[in-house]
Structure 1
Amino acid sequence: MIKIIKRMSIVSVIAALFFMVIQVVSDLYLPNLTSNIIDKGVATGDIDYIWKIGFIMIGFSLFSIVAAVGNTYFATKESQKIGKTLRSEIFQKVSFASHNQMDKVGTASLITRTTNDVNQIQMVIQMFLRLMINAPIMLVGASIMAYRKNAELTKVFIITIPLMIILIGVIMYFAVPLFKSMQKKTDKLNLVFREGLTGVRVVRAFNRTDFEEERFAEANEDFVATAIKVNTIMAMMIPLVTLIMSGTSVLIVWNGSHLIADMQMEIGHMVAFMSYAMQILVSFMMLSMIFIFVPRGQASAARINEVLELEDDIIPAENPVSLADSKEPISLTFDHVDYRYEGAEKLALSDVDFNLKGGQTLAIIGGTGSGKTTLVNLIPRFYNVEAGAVKVNGLPVDQVNKEELIDHIGFVPQKAMLFTGTIRDNMLYGKEDATDEEIWKALEIAQAKDFVSGLEDGLESHVEQGGGNFSGGQRQRLCIARALVKEADIFIFDDSFSALDFKTDARLRKALKENVTDEIVVIVAQRISTVVDADLILVIDEGEIVGQGTHDELKENCQTYQEIISSQLREEEIA
């Protein structure tokens, strides 16, 4: 929490403190004026004095209102500014985070930390600049003023203040752990809710709607039960504090009446003393609220700092080299590469070794979970290799500036992801200054030109979230076109032909062969028909290359490749 508080503007803190001091001084002086009106105006029948002091009280009240507005303005401004900064930093951290970092936190938890946790921090900062400043000053000031009015009556606080402290302590003991647990339960609720939304088609396909509803209801009821419990505990504070305050008033009146009867105290002084007593007890209550909500804010701050302090395992080179300075032609080399996922005992990739030149096509084929996607993710350096080296244009990727490396790679991931906007907006994701001619050319190569031109608005056609208003094959072709718009040295298609029919697949590969002539094309596929024309085919099984060569070579000497062929083609087609 201290790390986040350090981000606060010293100007806003001083301004909030200045206005709060004015407000507190005004509020502390009002009971004294009330005392004077009673003792010097009402008791003596001096109407002019009553009017005079009344106008002074109005002036102090106006000062208090203006000061309260000023304090609230700066407190709110600073809390919102901190919230904005934290959300921006979390988003930026996530945007540039490695895959390993994302896996550590989880998407659902990141959503909670960006929204709920940041809101908790904002609330605590606002409370800090208002209550945390107000309460101590008011407590000290009201105690001094009460003592000045009558030292004898201050003995009442020997009974009431310990009661207040015990009450607040008991409530904090039970409430604070519950407040902390609510953050984790919010994470779980978001996780279940998000899985239900993103997997709604799977849920319906397997008729598991009732199961998901029960699962969400369980997480929801757990959260609600905790929330009800903690709010019930907190609800007890107001009536119990009110009871203590009422008891304090009774004690003050009881003892004060005897002092008045003995001519040791004036009525106005007792009225003022009661006001100061209420200010003292209210200050204690405000402090208790702070001590309850600060631990919750601390828990949120720890969760936010956990994201902000994630160490990037993709460490940039101290003296990065530029691909533009490379004298080597376009090439892609895996030099005996090993890779292991964090915490895993077994290598995900073992001794991967091959070399490609510009104009060549690499196809990667193998069973599910064999390591195909892991291999292509090493090219743009989404992960660091454990041993060996990945080289682009003769330069190790860990020695190249990451942003420049990405600029030289056109990547189509397994999941066809489109962004809300228009088709043109999605195409410009690949190249910001792409012309219509370049976009239509990319769409033509990707076999998407026909259906896009058939849309009423063409390139301006609306794209819903995730491309939900297009079929799987259309989404894949649009994603392929987006990558092709980019002027890259290497194009990677990670199983991005899977939703295409054989005819469209063949036309697309032919178009790639004819139009992408100088660049390297890497295709991850499951179908033999997709890889058959590649210059080099890698056959991967359990992270190891069990065969590499052309289709004809592998058909003769690679058993795993032969098994894939026999599982997909009829005997007469194999021959």
Structure 2
Amino acid sequence: MIKLAKGRMSMWMVWSSVIFMIIQVYTTLRLPDLTSNLINNGVAKGDLPYIYHTGAWMAFYSLISVLAGIANVYTSSVASQKLGTVLRRDIYDKVMNYSNEEFDRIGTSSLITRTTNDVVQIQNVTMMFLRMMIMSPIMLVAASILAYDKSHQLTEIFLVAIPILVLVIGVAMYFAVPLFKSMQIKTDRINLIFREGLNGVRVIRAFGRDKFEQDRFKTANKDYTDNAIKVFSIMAAVFPLVTLVMSGTNVGITWFGGQLIAGQAMQVGDLVAFMTYAMQVLMSFMMLAMIFVMVPRAQASADRINQLFNEESTILDPSESQAAGKQPELSFKDVEFSYSGAEEPALSKVHFSTHSGQTVAIIGGTGSGKTTLVSLIPRFYDVDQGEITVNGQNIKNYSQHDLRDLIALTPQKAILFTGTVRDNLKYGNPKASDDDLWHALDIAQASDFVHELKGQLDGKVEQGGDNFSGGQKQRLAIARSLVKKAAIYIFDDSFSALDFKTDAKLRAALKQDSEIKKAIVVIVAQRIATVVDADKILVLEDGKMTGSGTHEELKQSNKAYQEIIESQIRKGDQ
């Protein structure tokens, strides 16, 4: 946790919190001594002026203690909340630089939990540290010394009370700490199931699996709840036991203190002060112990967050990014790639090249490696063997930013962001004019329904683009890519939700556009009709290139391509 806090906390607020805490401790410890003097020298002697004078000082110290306590709460709250703010920002920045491999390995749900719940645990313990973790040992030591000063005989009671407290809290920590740690893992599980349920709600309803998913969530929720009940039951049992010990200590102090007073070895005021100091000692010890119970949970959260910061991305930028050539060019040279933990390569010995003005289509069955191939171009993953070049340079010679600046990618799943149509279209080119936006919408065959929107370009886009149909979302995603002036346009099965007529119009508009003619267009598709006009078609089968050529060439010579044609003719797709 110290590693996480270093450089992320407002030290001015931290030191202010510590100073206010010291003032609060000092004024709190002064009150029992003043009470003792009030009883011994004022009440016992009937000295009213002394009682008023001492009472005024007690009121003053009480006021200062309250004000210092409020200031300490405020400064510690600000320090802990600012730590949380900076921590969430740094986690987000770090995660945004992960490659797809790190996302796959850690999991989205776990990343969300670590950015929210785990950070909250760090914040809570930070505030506890500034409020109690520093105050408790100071109060414990100072109150013990002052209690000893009042009566060294009565301090022997602590030799019985404190070991009992140690035993009670030690047993509680032994059973509670592992349960606290497991709560974070169970929180991950709940978030995973809840997120899958929200994202897949249409599928769940379509298959009538509502009850199954509800039971699945109920099981994970019950597992978390049972764990939480166990740990908080243990913690709840601690407080009555501690109260019992403290009450027993009070009884012992009163019993033995009464004997000392009867023997004139102690004054009444000193006994009252001693009892107050004793409660401060025991309460400080209890608070310190409770903090040590909470710290392991926060430490588990800190370890999970540190894991994110220590995670080294598999995609590394070169020390100096190379300049790209002026002419768009793309080539794969004997490229091989395997996903982490996979037994077989996802792509093997892929070899082709293309240049500006050409359209390359990639076709093949499900799981043949089409999306994997185009994911390697912007370096979402690094190749295991071989080389990929863009504009004359190995893509590893570019920084990720410079490489992706040359590429406009429309992913398989159309992703739209909350905001307006204009915001989404300008995502890759903030300087684009309205004319540029409408031109891109015309090519993407999307201008008709955008014209009908209330506000048109300023029309609202709901979360995930849920106020648009699947085909409309795809066309807006395509338009967004076209607004970005790129050397390579990649359409990863981006025409799948379009009807044949719209598909044909869109591809024709792409071929006629003067800017796109200067670039390379890569199209991943399932339908023959989508790829038939491409300058080069790559046929993938089980991660291997089984053919390369035009539609007519492959139609005559490639068995896999012929099978795709035949299957689609039988289905009436061509």
Q: Which TM-score band (shorter chain)?
A: over 0.9
Partner of residue 526, structure 2: 526
CA distance in 2, matches of 1:571, 1:238: 72
Give the AA of the match of 1:535: D
CA distance in 2, matches of 1:368, 1:297: 45
Alpha-carbon spacing, 1:550–1:105, altered in 2? closer, same or farther (3 Å): same
Aligned pairs (5 A) from 1:163-174: 163-174=164-175
2:480 paired residue among 479, 482, 504:
482
Gaps of 5+ in 2: none
State the 1:322 CA deviation.
2.0
CA distance in 1, matches of 2:423, 2:525: 28
State the 1:453 CA deviation.
0.5
| Preserved CA contact (<8 Å) 1:476 1:499 | yes
State the 1:5 CA deviation.
3.3
Alignment pair present for 1:562 and 2:558? no
Q: Which deviates more, 78-87 or 270-279?
A: 78-87
| Preserved CA contact (<8 Å) 1:418 1:466 | yes
Give the AA of the match of 1:546: T
State the 1:307 CA deviation.
1.0
Aligned pairs (5 A) from 1:347-366: 347-366=345-364
State the 1:460 CA deviation.
1.2
Q: Secondary structure at the match of 1:548?
A: strand
Per-residue Cα deviation, 1:322-380 (whole angstroms, up to 9, x for no partner): 22xx2x52111111111111222311111111111101000000011110001001111
CA distance in 2, matches of 1:432, 1:500: 27
| Preserved CA contact (<8 Å) 1:339 1:349 | yes
Give the AA of the match of 1:120: Q
Partner of residue 421, structure 1: 419
State the 1:572 CA deviation.
11
Q: Secondary structure at the match of 2:489?
A: strand
State the 1:424 CA deviation.
0.7
Give the AA of the match of 1:479: A
Alpha-carbon spacing, 1:266–1:536, altered in 2? closer, same or farther (3 Å): same
Alpha-carbon spacing, 1:258–1:454, altered in 2? closer, same or farther (3 Å): same
Partner of residue 120, structure 1: 121
CA distance in 2, matches of 1:317, 1:498: 37
Q: Secondary structure at the match of 1:236?
A: helix
Partner of residue 310, structure 2: 309
Per-residue Cα deviation, 1:263-295 (whole angstroms, up to 9, x for no partner): 000000000000000000000110111110100
Alignment pair present for 1:411 and 2:412? no
Alignment pair present for 1:439 and 2:437? yes
| Preserved CA contact (<8 Å) 1:397 1:405 | yes
CA distance in 1, matches of 2:320, 2:10: 36
State the 1:2 CA deviation.
2.6
CA distance in 1, matches of 2:183, 2:237: 19
CA distance in 2, matches of 1:260, 1:572: 106
Q: Secondary structure at the match of 1:569?
A: helix
| Preserved CA contact (<8 Å) 2:492 2:523 | yes
State the 1:22 CA deviation.
1.0
Alpha-carbon spacing, 1:557–1:225, altered in 2? closer, same or farther (3 Å): same
| Preserved CA contact (<8 Å) 1:124 1:293 | yes
Per-residue Cα deviation, 1:170-220 (whole angstroms, up to 9, x for no partner): 111111111111110000001011000000000001000000000000011
Q: Secondary structure at the match of 1:352?
A: strand
State the 1:9 CA deviation.
4.1
State the 1:11 CA deviation.
3.2
State the 1:309 CA deviation.
1.4
| Preserved CA contact (<8 Å) 2:321 2:402 | no
Aligned pairs (5 A) from 1:84-233: 84-233=85-234
State the 1:389 CA deviation.
0.9
CA distance in 2, matches of 1:252, 1:126: 34
Per-residue Cα deviation, 1:391-447 (whole angstroms, up to 9, x for no partner): 111111100121111111110001100001111110111210111100000000000
Q: Secondary structure at the match of 2:202?
A: helix
CA distance in 2, matches of 1:306, 1:392: 34
CA distance in 2, matches of 1:131, 1:553: 78
Alignment pair present for 1:252 and 2:250? no
CA distance in 2, matches of 1:571, 1:437: 41
Partner of residue 551, structure 2: 551
CA distance in 2, matches of 1:192, 1:350: 35
Give the AA of the match of 1:525: A
CA distance in 2, matches of 1:340, 1:43: 88
CA distance in 1, matches of 2:327, 2:456: 38
Give the AA of the match of 1:482: R
Per-residue Cα deviation, 1:35-74 (whole angstroms, up to 9, x for no partner): 0000100000001100000110111112211221222222
Q: Secondary structure at the match of 2:546?
A: strand
Give the AA of the match of 1:467: G
| Preserved CA contact (<8 Å) 1:322 1:401 | no
Give the AA of the match of 2:104: D
CA distance in 2, matches of 1:139, 1:47: 34
Alignment pair present for 1:537 and 2:537? yes
Partner of residue 455, structure 2: 457
Partner of residue 29, structure 2: 28
State the 1:570 CA deviation.
4.8
CA distance in 2, matches of 1:105, 1:285: 38
CA distance in 2, matches of 1:454, 1:12: 54
Give the AA of the match of 1:247: G
State the 1:10 CA deviation.
3.7
Per-residue Cα deviation, 1:289-325 (whole angstroms, up to 9, x for no partner): 11101000000000111111110111111222122xx
Aligned pairs (5 A) from 1:464-503: 464-503=462-501
Q: Secondary structure at the match of 2:360?
A: strand
CA distance in 2, matches of 1:5, 1:288: 22
| Preserved CA contact (<8 Å) 2:99 2:380 | yes
| Preserved CA contact (<8 Å) 2:179 2:227 | yes
Aligned pairs (5 A) from 1:249-398: 249-323=250-324, 326=325, 328-398=326-396
CA distance in 2, matches of 1:373, 1:46: 92
Q: Which deviates more, 247-256 or 341-350?
A: 341-350
State the 1:573 CA deviation.
9.4
Partner of residue 398, structure 2: 400
State the 1:95 CA deviation.
1.5
Alpha-carbon RMSD across the aligned residues, in angstroms, is: 1.2
CA distance in 2, matches of 1:131, 1:219: 34
Q: Which deviates more, 383-392 or 356-365?
A: 383-392
Give the AA of the match of 2:47: D
CA distance in 2, matches of 1:142, 1:573: 86
Give the AA of the match of 2:460: H
TM-score (norm 2): 0.98
Aligned pairs (5 A) from 1:52-67: 52-67=53-68
CA distance in 2, matches of 1:309, 1:455: 47
| Preserved CA contact (<8 Å) 1:180 1:295 | yes
CA distance in 1, matches of 2:284, 2:91: 36
| Preserved CA contact (<8 Å) 1:476 1:496 | yes
Alpha-carbon spacing, 1:336–1:141, altered in 2? closer, same or farther (3 Å): same
State the 1:571 CA deviation.
11
Give the AA of the match of 1:491: Y
CA distance in 2, matches of 1:260, 1:532: 106
| Preserved CA contact (<8 Å) 2:10 2:82 | no
Give the AA of the match of 2:52: W
